[in-house]
Amino acid sequence: MKWTIGESHTGRKLNDERGSAAYSFVGFMIVVVVIIAAIFVIPDLGRKTPDSALASARAAMAKQDWEKAVSLFDQAIKAQPGNIDAYIGRSAAYLNTGKLADALADADNAVKLDPDSAPAYGQKAIVEKVLGQDEAAIGTFTKALELDGNYAWAYAQRAHILSKLGDQEKALVDVNKALEASPNFADGFRVRAWVLTRMGKCKEASEDFSKVAQLKPNDAWSIQDRAWFLMTCPDEKLRDGTKALELARKAHEMTEGQDAVVQETLAEAYFQAGDAAKAAELQEKAIALKSKSCPQGSCADEMKIRLKKYTLAARNEERKSYEILPLDSTYRP
């Protein structure tokens, strides 16, 4: 054994004993930490944290799995009852399942939790819009824009309502503000294209639809939008039924026939191509799909009116009660 200078056997023994005691104490503390972890940490390893539940819910929303999103937002709200993002998200999920009362209730809760949240007011406004409460929605979107003057989506939504109500000038002002706030806002160009179409400015509208195609080349809704425009634009020089049918078919294929608006666009394309029977068949499917997203199918009323047009056009005209021969039995030809 090698000894260091000045170290005695007794001193070495004392140091060894002190070291052993120190190691024993450290070991004891490690055991305590492990036990605490086992009691308080390990049981939670399989549970989702509020943040992870929110992330999963948003992923479900991106996949349009609305029911799963609702369930995940439920988890986040139970874990954090004051989480405004979870209420806004669940409201959006409810909206897509047609549960409008629940969607409005969640949006109201979000506004109460944070009266200074522009997205909370924006969510409430979009539910009001879907409910057909246009004036209320305009007021609520206005409140959202007072809180956030660069809220492009809210400007575009308010523009959409104003355009539907026939005030194209105000709608154009709003959608221009949306595009100023967000220059690459594809849906902003979509809204402006329709506003310009209703103003009879089809050439300018066509340019906006081209911008949408550049920004969102694989978006089924944008593709069917352009198809509808090519069938309905007031300027007959810009109409193209053949191209419209091609685009409508593409959008229909992309959505696997599960989108009501796309389905209706394809129906109109077939109608204008001269196949009223096919148009009626597709329109009935569109109505069935649309009716799932609103109480008593009220949001499909306009679609039902269009179905009558297709059905009447597809009807085989036959006069069964028409008298071909004279009614006088004494008649001799």
Q: Domain boundary residue among 148, 177, 210?
A: 148
Residue ranges of the chain with pLDDT lower than 70? 1-50, 294-297, 317-322, 330
Q: Domain boundary residue among 148, 181, 207?
A: 148
| 217-248 core/surface letters (b: 16 or more CB in 10 A; e: else) | eebbbbbbbbbbbbbebeeeeebbbeebbebb
78 within a domain of the structure (yes/no) = yes
Q: Domain boundary residue among 98, 120, 148?
A: 148
> What residue numbers bound the domain in which 132 lies?
48-148
pLDDT at 326: 79
Question: Any long-range contacts for 105-113 (C-beta under 8 Å, 24+ apart)?
Answer: 110/84, 113/82, 113/84, 113/87
- When divided into structural domains, the chain yields a total of 2
Contact between 152 and 181 under an 8 Å Cβ cutoff? The reply is: yes
35 within a domain of the structure (yes/no) = no
Contact between 174 and 159 under an 8 Å Cβ cutoff? The reply is: yes
pTM of the model: 0.75
Six-digit token string for 6: 């000045």
288 within a domain of the structure (yes/no) = yes
83: CATH: 1.25.40.10
226 within a domain of the structure (yes/no) = no
246: CATH: 1.25.40
Contacts of 122 (CB under 8 A, 6+ apart): 140, 141, 144, 151, 153, 154, 157
pLDDT at 36: 39
pLDDT at 295: 63
pLDDT at 50: 59
88 within a domain of the structure (yes/no) = yes
Strand segments (E) across 78-237:
none
159 within a domain of the structure (yes/no) = no
Tens of pLDDT along 218-259?
999 999 999 999 999 988 899 999 999 999 999 999 999 999
Instruction: Report CA-CA distances (Å) from 263 to 85, 185, 199, 267.
Output: 33, 25, 26, 6
Tens of pLDDT along 94-114?
998 889 999 999 999 999 999
Q: Is the dihedral of CA 192, 197, 200, 204 positive or negative?
A: positive
